Structure formats: structure tokens, C-alpha cells
Structure 1
Amino acid sequence: MKTEALHKTLEEAHWNSVGSVRPLSVNPVVRAFRRMAVLRSLHLVVLWAAVSYSMAFNIDVAGPKIYTGSGPGYKSLHFQSGTEKGSVFRVPLQRNGNGGVFICDDTNPDCKSVPLPSAAEANSKERAKQKVDLVFLFDGSMSMNDEDFVKSKEFIKTIMKSMSNTSIQFAAVQFSKVSRTVFTFKDYQDNKAFKKLDDEEHMKSLTHTHGAMHYALNNLFDESESGRHPDATKVVVIITDGNPSDPARVKVNGTSKNIVEIYEDRHIMRFVIGVCIEYLFQLSVWFTQ
């Protein structure tokens, strides 16, 4: 009875505080249902808290792995992938100070080290650079005056000097009515290229550019004694003052083929530079920069 009187007193105080019209009477059955609703809400809150706690990560402090040294650089991340979950740790003091990564989970007492790729030494075989075989085909026709011819050779030397410490090797061919090897890839490797280029004399005849392309293919790119690299990217730089005076079709094993199409089929890159003293000087400055 005391409990019933207490409920009535609290209910009376509630209705007085909100200033609302009080119900004339409250059925005991209705009051019981109200109490059950409150208990049910409390039960759901407790259940949700328990489920949330069970889904959380737990930190096991028993037998931790301790790393000595400065703290900056250490990092941990939690992960979950499908049925797997655990923690990933970055440890900068591992592997002679190069850092290490470990994966830990609750199914295995030992953390697993994740193999990481390492950078190769600058001069090691692992650091292989893409090799390039580049051939200069420079015009020696009679339409080229002596000043233009000398400037073409100076342009070639400027490019070779600016790229001397790269994976590019050079060869050169002067072409007119016929073509002539000025220096091979092997000459460049043996430091003979600059001297041979300086000694090269002006041919002063026709402009057989297509024939020069065919000549470079047979005598430099496909000739092992030239010092070429079989797996290198092949590039041709043509320095000329005008259009070719010979046909594009050449004889290949007794069959007439277009030399430009042959270059395209073999993925040989081609660059053409029109001869102009001022333009070659600007290109030389650009390459040195």
C-alpha cells in the first residue's frame, strides 16, 4: 500500500508540474503495461551496449613486444577484411633502420613480418635503365653551305655532351647521294666519336634521305659489330635542309618496300630537324639546359 501511495504522490506531482489536465483515474492494468514498456526500453539499451562492447577491439597487455629507441615513426592501424581482422604496425627501427611492417591478430601469438621491396644501389644491376640507340642522319648535300654543315656537326656534339651520363649511346651518318658512317656506337663507347665527327668532310651532292634511313638500318641498328644494343629503343634524328630527292621505296631481300613503313613496323622513332643556323643554335641552348 505504501508503494501504491508513493506512485500516486509522484504522479500527482508530475501533473501539477506540467500544468496539464490530469486523468480522472489510472487503471491498474494500464499502469502495469507502462512499467513493462519502461523495463523493455532499459533492456534494449543494456543489450545494445553489450553487443557494441563485444564488437570492439581489445588490447592485450600480456607479453607485449617492446621496441627500444625514439618513438617518432611508430604507427598502428586496425584492419578487417572478410573474416580476418587484426592490427598492422610500422616499426622504423627494424631492418637496420630502414623500417618494418608487422601484422598481428588474435589467432597467432607471433606477429608476421610483411616483406617490403627495397631500393637498389645507384650502380647495381637491379637499377637497369632503358637503353637508347640514337643515330644522327645529317645532310651533306650541295644545297647545304659550309656554315650550315659545320653548325649541324656542332649541334650533334652539343647533344652528345649534354647526354653523356645517360643510357643513350650515339652513332652518326652523313648522307648525300650516298651514305657514309661517321662514327658507330662502338666509336662512341671508345670516345672516338668527337674526333671522327670533326674530321668528317662535306660530301656536297644530292639529298637521298630515304637511302640514308635504309643504310642506318642495315649498318648500325642491325649490325652487331656497330656496338648497338639489341634490346635498346631505336631513335633516328634527321638533320636536313630540304625534301628527299630519292624514292621512299627500297630493296629488302629482293622486294620493294617503303622504308618509312619499315621504321614504323619496327617502332623506330624518327625526328626531323630543318637546318637553320639560328634554329640549331636555339636547340643547342635548349638541350644544354
Structure 2
Amino acid sequence: MDVFRLQLTVLLLLGGHMVSGVTVQECRRRPADLVFLLDGSGSIEPQDFTKAKSFVSDIIRKFEISSRAVHVGLIRFDSEAVVLIRLNEFRSAAQLLQKISQMKNFGGKTNTGSALQLAGTVLTDHRFGARDNVEKIVIVLTDGRSNKGVDVGVAAMSLKSKGVAPVIAVGVGGKINRAELQLIASS
């Protein structure tokens, strides 16, 4: 699937999930906490990491980033999961895009389970900027080849049980584990 069609699919999924019977413009500014989980492990080739960053940036450009609309957080994971952007850290797309452009992948193992757990914390803990009564959305960009840490299936179920929906899994690179991506994603 080419990048444009994938971005369009994500936008439609997000918009369709948030509300029905509204315009795309209304979906762009509907309050939501959106957290990206970006795989920066050794199994992600540098050019694929760059494509994943571009994908994240393109999605951010599609939404109104402001104190009353969409808030964006970002977790990069490899052997460890780290919050690089808290939900309350930036109030403009330009600031977010600058931070994302500077991100590097460091290699190491793929600890997707810990990233999913951390996303659950970020989306429910006010210290990370989580808001009450807004949509909670996670987009995971990975090859689906976890090899360290918490069981991915258990972590994904825990995240979904916290009311996070949708959870969207996007395959990155040429060696994708589709079964794990399906395990991560909402139905």
C-alpha cells in the first residue's frame, strides 16, 4: 500500500471512529489525545525509520493541534520505551514536526509490549497531559517483530481495556510480522 493511501486510511479510520455524521474539518479539530509509538529498534532500517517519521508528520499535519483540539504524544521504543513528547508538551504542529524531524533510531531489541504499557500510562495520567472525556487513540509503527519485554498480546489487551480505541498498527519495513500487528490493533 502506498503512503498516501495508508495516510488516507488512517485519517478515515480516526475520523470515522471519533464521530459519525460530521465533516472531515470537524474531525480535524475534535478533541483527542493521540499517541504514536515509533519502533526505533535494530530491525528497522534507517530509511524505513525516516519513512515512519514522515508518516507521523503527515498525519499530524492533517489535524488541528491546539489546547482545545488534538494533543499529540510520542513514544520511541527499542530495548526500552521512552516518552519523547508528552501530550501537553506542544500546542502547535510546527513544534511537534521540529521535534520529530530530530529523532534518531538507536537500534537494540524491540520492546513493543513496554511501549504499549507506557502508552496506557500516558493516555490516563494527567502528568503526561492526558485529558478526561476525549478520544484516546494509539498508532503503532513497527515491524511487529517484538523480541524483548512484556508480552505484546497482554499489553495490547490491557491498553484496549483502558478505553483506548482505536489502536492502529502500521507495518514498517520489508519484514513485517502481520500476526503481531493484528494482535496489537483494534478489531
Normalising by the smaller structure, the TM-score range is: 0.5 to 0.7
CA contact (8 A) 2:119 2:159 kept: no
| C-alpha distance in 1 between matches for 2:47 and 2:151 | 32
Who is 2:161 aligned against?
A: 265
Does residue 175 of structure 2 align to residue 275 of structure 1? no
Instruction: Select 1:213's aligned residue among 109, 116, 138.
Output: 116
Who is 2:90 aligned against?
A: 188
Instruction: Select 1:137's aligned residue among 14, 32, 37.
Output: 37
Q: Matched residue pairs, number?
A: 142
Aligned-pair identity (%): 21
| C-alpha distance in 1 between matches for 2:96 and 2:155 | 27
Who is 2:126 aligned against?
A: 224
| C-alpha distance in 1 between matches for 2:30 and 2:62 | 18
| C-alpha distance in 1 between matches for 2:130 and 2:101 | 22
Who is 2:9 aligned against?
A: none
Query: Structure 2 unaligned runs (5+)?
Result: 1-28, 175-187
Cα distance 1:226–1:165, how it changes in 2: closer, same or farther (>3 A)? Answer: closer
| C-alpha distance in 2 between matches for 1:224 and 1:273 | 27
Instruction: Select 2:73's aligned residue among 171, 174, 189.
Output: 171
Higher Rg of the two aligned structures: 1
Cα distance 1:142–1:184, how it changes in 2: closer, same or farther (>3 A)? Answer: same
1:181 deviates by 1.6
TM-score by length of 1: 0.45
1:168 deviates by 2.5
Query: Structure 1 unaligned runs (5+)?
Result: 1-128, 251-256, 278-289
| C-alpha distance in 2 between matches for 1:228 and 1:267 | 13
Higher strand share: 1
| C-alpha distance in 1 between matches for 2:151 and 2:171 | 22
SS of equivalent residue, structure 1 residue 155: helix
| C-alpha distance in 2 between matches for 1:181 and 1:146 | 20
Of structures 1 and 2, the one with the larger relative CO (CA 8 A, separation 6+) is 2
CA contact (8 A) 1:134 1:169 kept: yes
TM-score by length of 2: 0.67
4+ residue segments displaced more than 3 Å: 246-250
Who is 1:160 aligned against?
A: 60
Who is 2:20 aligned against?
A: none
Identify the range of structure 1 (239-248 vs 136-145) with the bigger mean alpha-carbon deviation.
Answer: 239-248
1:165 deviates by 6.1
Q: Which amino acid aligns with 1:200?
A: M
SS of equivalent residue, structure 2 residue 89: helix
1:261 deviates by 2.3
CA contact (8 A) 1:208 1:244 kept: yes
Cα distance per residue 1:48-95 (max 9 Å; x no partner): xxxxxxxxxxxxxxxxxxxxxxxxxxxxxxxxxxxxxxxxxxxxxxxx
